[in-house]
Amino acid sequence: MIGLLILFLVGLLPALSRAEAPASLTDGMALVARGEYDAAVLALYPLAAARPFDAACQYWLGRAYYGQRFYGLAAERLGEAVKRDARDRDACYWYARALRMAGRVEDALLVLPFFLARFPADTELVTEYAAACVMAGRTHDALAALHGLTARDASPALRATVDEWTKALAVRPVAVEPKLARRTVHFELRCDASAWMLRALLDEVDDVREEISAAFGVEMRDFRVIAFLAKGAYETYARAHRGEEAAPAAHAYCLGNTLVVRLPDAWPEQEGARRALAALLRHEMAHLAINLRTGGQGVPLWLHEALACHYGGTAGFATGRIPDPPLAPRELNAAFMSSARGRQETAYAQAHAMAAVLTRALGREKLLALLDALAAGVPLPTAYRDAAGEPFDTFLAEWAQRYAAKP
Ligand SMILES: [Zn+2]
């Protein structure tokens, strides 16, 4: 009886909520449509917490997280939406996409066949399936799915898309890892240099690992470091690994649990090169530690970079000047992703300064509490107010004066 009642309620609640969608749901939907994802999460988070059975609330909060690029958080909410209403095609599509973007490709490939059985002619779902297959290394399955699409729908536009995919897959660079490898209980290191360089690098990484683990209160383990001495090898590997056309401008990056670094020329002979590498490693390992602490979700890009600069190193890329007036968080995120000359440098300079003010105000324990709240999906303004005891807007309005006031 109770089971029946619950079933009945679960069926009824979404129907009820659609009929009388509260104002904040309508507001949140409008904010998502306008691309104002931070504001959308702020509006939708309390609503979704109060109405956990409401598929629409879960769905729109998931879409808002997706817009913020918090794919893990998005997948959780969208999965809830699918559980409440499995006939909702949009919920199925965005759930699978969020899983893939969160790096949970195997999970995406588990649910996608069910969704495709339900919506067999859905071009976006088939394309999503093909994208997941590519990421899992199943290129043949991806091509078969795409050709299945053209067999059903022979429109020129679709044919062109499939041709483009087929060509791109044929010339896709392959991420070849260096063969020389060493493993410790905490990490694996691969390097294209000599055996003695590998040993020197291993010690370097291990020292940084201990320091950064302590700063973020996590034991860093099960990660990998791939180091290249050859510029060309680094660039080819990075393009394939990141699935991007161009090689990254930076000399190091972090993807999932893998840290990829290009060793500075003249390393380890020159002191300057040794310092540059140490700063690079500390910076990227701070990113890695934040990802380990938070499950890689909830921390906005600007805060991620700010903390990596503060606890890690700046490796000379914080040479820019803080923009006047300073950038709002949204603009700051955009600046980090900008390829315009000097734009990233000013973003690093500003984020670095913001981190100095933030860490001074919060101290280590409250800062870690803030990170944990963000990882649970709490919107940043709420999480900051809870940790710091002042509105986030006050911080945004005053950090520059507070930074300047510091001796
Ligand atoms: Zn960084």
Q: How many Å lie between the centroid of ligand 1 and the Cα of residue 302? A: 9
CA 196/CA 214 separation, integer angstroms? 28
Burial class of residue 286 in the structure, from the number of CB atoms within 10 Å of its CB (0-12 exposed, 13-18 middle, 19+ buried): buried
Q: Residue 120: its pLDDT value, please?
A: 87
The pLDDT value recorded for residue 380 is 96
**Contact predicate 25/57, CB 8 Å:** yes
Give 230's pLDDT tier (boundaries 50, 70, 90). very high
Distance 270 CA to ligand 1 centre (A): 24
Q: Which residue has the higher pLDDT, 185 or 17?
A: 185
Helices (H) and strands (E) counted in the chain, each on its own, are 18, 5
In 3-state terms, what secondary structure has residue 263?
coil
Ligand 1 centre from 305 Cα, in Å?
5
Please check whether residue 262 is in contact with residue 255, taking contact to mean a CB–CB distance below 8 angstroms: no
Contact 212, 285 (CB under 8 A): yes
253 CA → ligand 1 middle, Å: 7
pLDDT tens digit sequence for 238-283: 998 887 888 888 889 998 889 999 999 889 899 999 998 999 999 9
> How remote is the CA of residue 364 from the centroid of ligand 1, in Å?
20
Tell me what pLDDT residue 157 has: 82
- Whose tokens are 């069926």? That residue is 11
Sheet containing 258-262, strands listed edge to edge, beginning at the edge strand earlier in sequence: 181-183, 187-191, 223-228, 258-262, 252-255
Q: What's the CA-to-centroid distance between 306 and ligand 1, angstroms?
A: 8
The share of the chain scoring above pLDDT 70, in percent, equals 94
CA 280–ligand 1 middle distance (angstroms):
9
Q: Would you identify the CATH topology of the domain 178-285?
A: Neutral Protease; domain 2 (1.10.390)
What's the 100 CA to ligand 1 centre distance in angstroms? 23
CA 68 to centroid of ligand 1, rounded, Å: 17
Q: What is the pLDDT of residue 21?
A: 64
Q: How far apart are the CA of 401 and the centre of ligand 1, in A?
A: 25
Give percent above pLDDT 90 in the chain. 68
**CB of 256 closer than 8 Å to CB of 270:** no
Q: Is pLDDT at 60 greater than 60 in this prediction?
A: yes
**Any bridge partners for residue 252, and if so which?**
261
What fold is seen in the domain 2-170? 1.25.40
* CA 282 / ligand 1 centre spacing (Å): 10
CA distance 329 to 338: 14
- Please report the pLDDT score of residue 398 as a whole number: 95
Expressed in angstroms and rounded, the spacing between residue 250 Cα and the centre of ligand 1 is 9
Average pLDDT, the chain: 89
**Three-state secondary structure string covering 21-59:** CCHHHHHHHHHHHCCCHHHHHHHHHHHHHHCCCCHHHHH
CA of 215 to the centre of ligand 1 (A): 16
Predicted model pTM: 0.84
Q: What is the pLDDT of residue 300?
A: 94
pLDDT for residue 296 = 87
DSSP code per residue over 177-223: PPS-EEE-SSEEEEESS-HHHHHHHHHHHHHHHHHHHHHHT----SE
Which pLDDT does position 23 carry in this prediction?
79
Distance of CA 149 to the CA centre of its chain: 30
Burial of 47 (0-12, 13-18, 19+ CB in 10 A): buried
Straight-line distance from the first to the last Cα atom of the chain, in angstroms, rounded to the nearest whole number: 69
pLDDT for position 318: 63
Euclidean distance between CA atoms 18 and 109, whole angstroms? 30
Residues with CB under 5 A from ligand 1 (ion): 305, 308
Instruction: Tell me the mean pLDDT in the region 65-86.
Output: 96
Reply yes or no on whether the pLDDT at 194 is more than 60.
yes
Burial of 65 (0-12, 13-18, 19+ CB in 10 A): buried
Cα 352 to ligand 1 centroid, rounded to whole Å: 11
pLDDT of 3 strictly over 80: no
**3-class SS of residue 137:** coil
SS3 358: helix
Compute, in angstroms, the gap from residue 395 CA to the centroid of ligand 1: 22
Query: 343 C-alpha to center of ligand 1: Å?
Result: 14
- Find the 285 Cα to ligand 1 centroid distance in Å: 9
Closest CA to 115 of 146, 94, 137: 94
Question: pLDDT digit string (tens) for 282-327?
Answer: 999 999 999 999 988 999 999 999 999 998 877 666 677 888 899 9
Bridge partners of 224, per DSSP, are 188, 258
Task: Name residues whose C-beta falls within 8 Å of residue 306's C-beta, 6 or more positions apart in sequence.
Answer: 351, 352, 354, 355, 358
| pLDDT beyond 90 at 16 | no
Provide φ and ψ at 2, rounded to 5°: -65, -40
- Would you list the domain boundaries of the chain? 2-170, 178-285, 297-407
Contact status, residue 318 vs residue 247, Cβ threshold 8 Å: no
Mean pLDDT of 319-342: 88
Lowest mean pLDDT among 107-116, 184-193, 254-263, 339-348: 339-348
CA of 149 to the centre of ligand 1 (A): 40
**Confidence category of residue 4, pLDDT binned at 50, 70, 90:** very low
How many alpha carbons fall within 13 Å on the CB side of residue 136?
19
- pLDDT at position 12 is 43
Ligand 1 centroid distance, CA of 249 (Å): 12
